[in-house]
Structures are given as C-alpha cells and as structure tokens.
Structure 1
Amino acid sequence: MANADMEISYSDLVSLRKTSEELLLVDVRSQEEVSKGRIPGSIHVPVGEVESVFSLDPDAFRERTGVARPPLDCPALIFHCQLGRRGEAATQTARRLGFKNARNYSGGYKEWSEKECK
C-alpha cells in the first residue's frame, strides 16, 4: 500500500517542474501510450524495465535514457503512468534499489492531460 511520502500531487509536480534542477520525471507507460502524449521533459522507461534500467551504471543509464543517472538521494525522482498503479510499482522498485526519495505522481498522465489541456 502506498504511503503519503511516496506520492506527489499535481500541484506539487507543477511546482517542482518550475523550481527543481534535479527533477527526473519517468513515464512508465507502454510505448503505445507514450506516443499518444507525454508530460514534457519526462523520460520513458516502461514499468517492466525500471529495475534493470535503474540498476545500470551511470554511463549505460545515460546511453539508455539520454539523461544522467540520478543519485540515490535524488530529491525529485518522480514516476508516473496513466492512472497511478504502475507508477506506484515503479516507485517501490526504485526505493528497493536505494532511491530513497522516489515518489509516484498518482494522478498520472490522465490527470495531467485533463488539467494541462484545458
């Protein structure tokens, strides 16, 4: 079960996008879902690949994702999917790998697109 420190709200995400240099937003949906739209600035790592990708060394991580591998204590490592369930699973995987501040944007792309596309 998700606890509050593992979740981030829409308003918190919007504010992090404006203020955090360290934000890494990870979209864990399928390629098909991502091709229909994504949160700007997010990287795509399907939920089934989170463990292997976030276990890579920094050079291999950059080669796979195009961005630097976040430090284990990264304050702004956020996962999201369409509705929250896969994002929660990805967050738990990342925390198990030592990313102690990983969080799930539980509103997911569905909430984001509803609020941003008004």
Structure 2
Amino acid sequence: MKTITTTEVQEKLAAGEELHLIDVREVEEVEAGKIPGITHIPLGLLEFRMHELDKNTPYIMVCRSGGRSGQATQFLEQQGYDVTNMNGGMMMWGGDVE
C-alpha cells in the first residue's frame, strides 16, 4: 500500500498541485472540520460510490487517524484504482480546515 504523510500532502497543496483527496470519515466527523475541497465518501458507502471515481486518477484517502483510509486504500487497490493512504489522518493534519 502506498502511503503519504500529512506534511507531504500539505506541501503539495501549498505548491499548487492538484490533488484528489477523499475523506472516508462519517458525516459528523467531516462537519467538525475537513480539508478544503476534499470529496466526502463515507467508508461504508465506498463500494457503492466507487463508480464516481476514475481509475486513471490518483487519489489520496483520508480519515481520522489513518486506519479507515487504509482499509479504503486496500479495497480500491484491489479494484484497480491508483490510491495512496494519508498516514496519521486528520489527527496529524496541520493545514487548512473548513
């Protein structure tokens, strides 16, 4: 499984890179604060909404601490998607939150 740190994601966003971030936390967690521009697909709905994703687009999966996003990363990898898990999740995130 590919991984990326929260610092690396913040640096890429600060450099103007277009990243495709997916937050797999629950609605209440996302309402408490999310990375600006992130797409929200709760982990429990991922298998039903993966048709919304493009297999040619790299995605970075995000959750609270990295566990659920790791599950999502493994699941999508098995389906042929290009995915990376953000280690540490929102608990380690030091960038902008909306």
- 2:32 is the counterpart of 1:44: no
- Structure 1 residue 79: Cα displacement: 0.4
CA distance in 2, matches of 1:116, 1:19: 14
The two structures have a TM-score, normalised by structure 2, of: 0.85
CA distance in 1, matches of 2:16, 2:36: 15
- When the two structures are aligned, how many residues end up with a matched partner? 95
- Within 5 Å, give how 1:16-55 maps onto structure 2: 16-17=12-13, 18-21=15-18, 23-54=19-50
| DSSP-derived class of the 2:69 partner | helix
Q: Is the 8 A contact 2:21 2:39 kept in 1?
A: yes
Structure 1 unpaired stretches of 5+: 62-68
User: Partner amino acid for 1:20?
Assistant: E
Q: Which has the larger radius of gyration?
A: 1
CA distance in 1, matches of 2:65, 2:91: 6
Give RMSD over aligned pairs.
1.6
Could you say which residue in structure 2 is the equivalent of 1:82? Answer: 64
Which of 46, 56, 64 is equivalent to 1:73?
56
Structure 2 unpaired stretches of 5+: none
CA distance in 1, matches of 2:62, 2:76: 12
Question: Which of structures 1 and 2 has the larger relative contact order (alpha carbons within 8 angstroms, sep 6+)?
Answer: 2
- Structure 1 residue 116: Cα displacement: 3.2
Q: Is the 8 A contact 2:63 2:89 kept in 1?
A: yes
Comparing both structures, which one devotes a greater share of its residues to strand? 2
4+ long deviations beyond 6 Å: none
CA distance in 1, matches of 2:31, 2:68: 17
User: Partner amino acid for 1:46?
Assistant: P
Could you say which residue in structure 1 is the equivalent of 2:10? Answer: 14
- 2:95 is the counterpart of 1:116: yes
